[in-house]
């Protein structure tokens, strides 16, 4: 099998890239190790930046998003017994907070790509990258039984944090940075109506909590917990009691409902600055991870592939490698800004067990400043809805 760009991974990075390349007249094949059903059922992100919404629409994939997306004017911050509305639209010249689940984005992009004849091979195993330092890159994998080959001009490693692409770059060549946080998130999905008209980010003395949504009937909530905690320790009753304590507000009711999914995730910040090695280009979680507090991971993944698709289009149009060589530098400014914002939101809103009371007071002072200063609010809002896109 042969193509121009071999894409490993059918997450948001791989799927957006395939659409952008298709629009530029460039052929690609996506290799995905899970089934279509699995990728369309994996619960992850919820918030899309305004320009990602606009891009989905521009690519002709935004019909359902326009109909079913939940568009909010802002978010609520809760701390020290008070609630504060952060008017994102007012601070950013009319941009919105869009809640549209990642697996819905994935469903739309898979269906759209297959509909225009795009090739996605699901359920592959033993994916391996070869000859990435030569002009004839090669990906091998196993399908039903036999070993298969995909010859390509370039490989896009869009296979998430645990995929094989980053590992294909020799360790000695990789420049990586990491921070592990001393807390995790317990996330649930439940059947209940919305309790509040927008997201609530709550800093409470018992720990952080986040109220989000999925549909008018299904809600998504998170609680700060120990990263190594076992979900078996959390009965539904214990989860709701903790949610009630951390969101409690006079005259307001957090509506409970049957919990049908719960899990715990650890939190880290990670950047592999070596996003290009020979003919291999890393994009999305394969190259960087943020803690989810800033709602940035998926958005950064799409930003990478937008830059990559432009560089590949320039190569096929003019034969020049310049834009491909500049790919890491062009992405890394935005990535580090996303890392900074995600770290800022995380440290400001969580209770770090290693911090003393002085440091905790500083976080409260930061929150107090943010909600009362137009300058600080504007800075937070422009990061949250998505910084302007610079190519
Ligand atoms: P993905 O989504 O991990 O996709 C990688 C794909 O590669 C496949 N793969 C392989 N395929 C072939 N061979 C192999 N050996 C392979 N190994 C892996 C995988 O099966 C998968 O299909 O990476 P991508 O495309 O870079 O997308 C990144 C986003 O998924 C991630 O950053 C976001 O989910 C982060 N995130 C959020 N981002 C936002 O922008 N807004 C949010 O509101 C937001 N909320 C969140 C989040 C992540 C969360 N979790 C669970 C980590 C909330 C949570 C709770
Ligand atoms: C979500 O709905 O999953 C979500 C919302 C906001 C965040 C992170 C996750 O900051």
pLDDT digits (tens, 9 = 90+) for 157-173: 999 999 999 999 999 99
Sign for the CA dihedral angle at 320, 321, 322, 327 comes to positive
Residue 232 within any structural domain of the chain:
no
For residues 83 and 76, is the Cβ–Cβ distance under 8 A? yes
Residue 387: band (very low, low, confident or very high) from pLDDT cuts 50, 70, 90 = very high
| CA–centroid distance, residue 292 to ligand 2 (Å) | 7
Residue 197 within any structural domain of the chain:
no
pLDDT at res. 22? 98
| Average of per-residue pLDDT values in the chain | 96
Residue with tokens 């507000």: 249
Strands (E), 61-175: 70-72, 75-79, 82-86, 97-99, 119-121, 125-130, 137-142, 147-157
pLDDT at res. 388? 84
**Ligand 2 atom nearest residue 345's Cα:** 10
CATH of the domain at 318: 3.50.50.60
For residues 264 and 185, is the Cβ–Cβ distance under 8 A? yes
- Residue of 214, 295, 349 to mutate, ligand 2, most atoms within 8 A of C-beta: 295
Residue 390 within any structural domain of the chain:
no
Residue 214 within any structural domain of the chain:
no
Q: In angstroms, how far is the first alpha carbon of the chain from the final one?
A: 33
pLDDT digits (tens, 9 = 90+) for 330-370: 999 999 999 999 999 999 999 999 999 999 999 999 999 99
Among 125, 75, 106, 87, residue whose Cα is nearest residue 13: 106
User: How many angstroms separate the CA atoms of 142 and 125, rounded?
Assistant: 5
pLDDT digits (tens, 9 = 90+) for 297-312: 999 999 999 999 999 9
Q: Please report which helix (H) or strand (E) contains residue 330, including its range.
A: helix 322-349
Domain count, the chain: 1
Q: Please give the C-alpha separations between residue 182 and each of 91, 211, 261, 269, 334, in angstroms, as whole numbers.
A: 33, 21, 24, 12, 26
| CA–centroid distance, residue 160 to ligand 1 (Å) | 6
User: How many angstroms separate the CA atoms of 354 and 287, rounded?
Assistant: 28
Residue 117 within any structural domain of the chain:
yes
Residue 8 within any structural domain of the chain:
yes
Res 145 pLDDT > 80: no
Q: Which residue, by CA, sits nearest to atom 3 of ligand 2?
A: 46
Residue 195 within any structural domain of the chain:
no
Res 116 pLDDT > 60: yes
Work out the burial of residue 13: count CB atoms within 10 Å of its CB; fewer than 13 is exposed, 13-18 middle, 19 or more buried.
Answer: buried
Mean pLDDT of 80-109: 96
Residue 188 within any structural domain of the chain:
no
pLDDT at res. 234? 98
User: How many angstroms separate the CA atoms of 190 and 241, rounded?
Assistant: 15
Name every residue whose Cβ is closer than 8 Å to that of residue 115 and which is 6 or more positions away in sequence: none
| CA–centroid distance, residue 11 to ligand 1 (Å) | 6
**Sheet architecture: strand order including 176-191:** 82-86, 75-79, 200-204, 207-213, 218-225, 176-191, 259-272, 288-289
Taking the CB of residue 388, how many other CB atoms lie within 10 A of it?
7
User: How many angstroms separate the CA atoms of 280 and 9, rounded?
Assistant: 14
Res 391 pLDDT > 60: no
Composition of the chain by helix, strand, coil, percent to 5: 40, 30, 30
Res 389 pLDDT > 80: no
Neighbouring-strand partners of residue 265: 185
Residue 290: band (very low, low, confident or very high) from pLDDT cuts 50, 70, 90 = very high
For residues 220 and 188, is the Cβ–Cβ distance under 8 A? yes
- Domain of 7? 2-70+97-178+269-351
Length of the chain: 391
Our CA angle for 304, 307, 309, nearest 5°, is 105
Name every residue whose Cβ is closer than 8 Å to that of residue 250 and which is 6 or more positions away in sequence: none
For residues 205 and 349, is the Cβ–Cβ distance under 8 A? no
| CA–centroid distance, residue 179 to ligand 2 (Å) | 20
Site residues for ligand 2, CB cut-off 6 Å: 45-47, 199, 210, 212, 220, 292-293, 295
For residues 228 and 270, is the Cβ–Cβ distance under 8 A? no
Res 182 pLDDT > 60: yes
**Active-site residue flag, 95:** no
Q: Which residue, by CA, sits nearest to atom 41 of ligand 1?
A: 295
């Amino acid at each position: 099998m042969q193509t121009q760009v071999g894409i490993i991974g059918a997450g948001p990075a791989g799927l957006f890239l395939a659409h952008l390349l298709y629009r530029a007249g460039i052929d690609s094949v996506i290799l995905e190790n899970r089934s279509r059903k699995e990728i369309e059922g994996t619960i992850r992100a919820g918030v899309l930046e305004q320009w990602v919404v606009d891009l989905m629409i521009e690519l002709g994939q935004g019909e359902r998003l326009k109909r079913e997306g939940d568009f909010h004017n802002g978010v609520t911050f809760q701390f020290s017994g008070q609630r504060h509305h952060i008017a994102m639209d007012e601070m950013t010249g009319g941009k919105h907070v869009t809640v549209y689940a990642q697996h819905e984005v994935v469903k739309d992009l898979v269906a759209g790509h297959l509909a225009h004849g795009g090739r996605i091979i699901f359920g592959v195993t033993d994916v391996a990258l070869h000859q990435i330092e030569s002009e004839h890159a090669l990906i091998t994998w196993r399908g039903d039984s036999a070993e298969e080959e995909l010859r390509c001009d370039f490989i896009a490693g869009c296979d998430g944090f645990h995929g094989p692409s980053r590992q294909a770059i020799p360790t000695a060549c990789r420049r990586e940075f990491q921070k592990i946080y001393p807390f995790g998130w317990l996330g649930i999905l439940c059947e209940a109506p919305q309790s509040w008209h927008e997201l609530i980010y709550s800093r409470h003395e018992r720990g952080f909590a986040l109220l989000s949504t999925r549909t008018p009937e299904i809600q998504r909530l998170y609680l700060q917990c120990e990263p190594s905690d076992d979900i078996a320790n959390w009965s539904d009753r214990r989860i709701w009691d903790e949610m009630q304590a951390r969101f409690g507000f006079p005259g307001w009711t957090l509506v409970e409902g049957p919990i049908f999914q719960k899990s715990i995730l650890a939190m880290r910040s990670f950047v592999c600055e070596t996003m290009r090695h020979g003919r291999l280009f890393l994009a999305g979680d394969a190259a960087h991870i943020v803690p989810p507090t800033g709602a940035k991971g998926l958005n950064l993944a799409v930003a990478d592939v937008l830059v990559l698709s432009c560089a590949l289009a320039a190569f096929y149009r003019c034969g020049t490698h310049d834009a491909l060589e500049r790919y890491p530098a062009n992405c890394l400014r935005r990535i580090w800004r996303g890392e900074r914002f995600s770290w800022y939101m995380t440290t400001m809103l969580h209770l770090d067990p290693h911090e003393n009371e002085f440091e905790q007071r500083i976080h409260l002072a930061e929150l107090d400043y943010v909600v009362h200063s137009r300058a600080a609010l504007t800075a937070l809002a422009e990061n949250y809805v998505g910084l302007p896109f610079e190519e």
